[in-house]
């Protein structure tokens, strides 16, 4: 397997795992602080009645983590690829320069991804929000409803994890790709016109 591709994949996976750990910790903290039971609809009620030993709040936490994973994977893979491409475009750029350039790319990406996550959760809870709107309930009543509180926790925890994944993954990628940087005085075969030669940093794309 290509070494560059393996390192790139490893960085993306590590960034994803660190971000998932943060999401899990924050999710557990928020669910406990809001006293969410996780038993809010017919499906969870049926599961709880058939298997009363199942921890429904734990099931809710698992749903938060899995729901964030799909978007999180997109962020970490994109950030890792961006840093690798920046390094290939300018092999002399150090880890600090790579990090700063990668963060600038990540800011725009994370804004669109967080919007996607919020809209996805809002779309899933739209019938419930419409019901509260028709009933003319106050914002306090709506926020204190466990169904709405669950969606708020999902959105907050997922968004925090996504935002944190950008600097974490970018820093890891910048350190790893800089560690493989050739010495500054190394001779580049392609630059000196040697036919068929491929620079190490260009061998994996």
Degrees (nearest 5) of the Cα angle 116, 132, 128?
Answer: 45
Q: Which pLDDT band, with edges at 50, 70 and 90, does 63 fall under?
A: confident
Identify the pLDDT of residue 127. 72
Task: Give 86-145 pLDDT, tens digit per residue.
Answer: 999 988 888 899 999 999 988 888 887 878 777 777 777 677 667 667 766 666 666 567
pTM equals: 0.72
Question: Does residue 36 register a pLDDT over 90?
Answer: no
Identify the pLDDT of residue 194. 43
Q: Which of 102, 99, 107 lies closest to 175, judged by CA?
A: 99
């Amino acid at each position: 397997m290509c070494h560059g591709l393996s390192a790139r994949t490893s960085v993306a996976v590590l960034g994803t795992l660190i971000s998932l750990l943060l999401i899990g910790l924050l999710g557990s903290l928020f669910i406990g602080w809001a006293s969410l039971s996780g038993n809010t609809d017919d499906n969870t009620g049926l599961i709880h009645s058939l298997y009363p030993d199942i921890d429904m709040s734990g099931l809710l936490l698992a749903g938060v983590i899995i729901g964030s994973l799909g978007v999180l994977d997109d962020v970490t893979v994109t950030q890792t690829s961006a840093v690798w491409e920046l390094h290939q475009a300018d092999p002399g750029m150090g880890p600090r320069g790579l990090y700063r350039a990668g963060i600038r790319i990540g800011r725009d990406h994370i804004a669109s991804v967080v919007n996607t996550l919020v809209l996805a959760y809002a779309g899933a809870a739209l019938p419930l929000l419409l019901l509260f709107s028709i009933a003319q309930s106050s914002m306090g009543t709506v926020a204190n409803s466990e169904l709405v509180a669950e969606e708020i926790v999902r959105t907050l925890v997922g968004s925090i994890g996504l935002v944190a994944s950008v600097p974490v993954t970018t820093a890891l990628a910048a350190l790893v790709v800089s560690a493989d940087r050739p010495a500054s005085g190394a001779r580049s075969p392609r630059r000196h016109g040697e036919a068929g030669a491929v620079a190490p940093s260009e061998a994996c794309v």
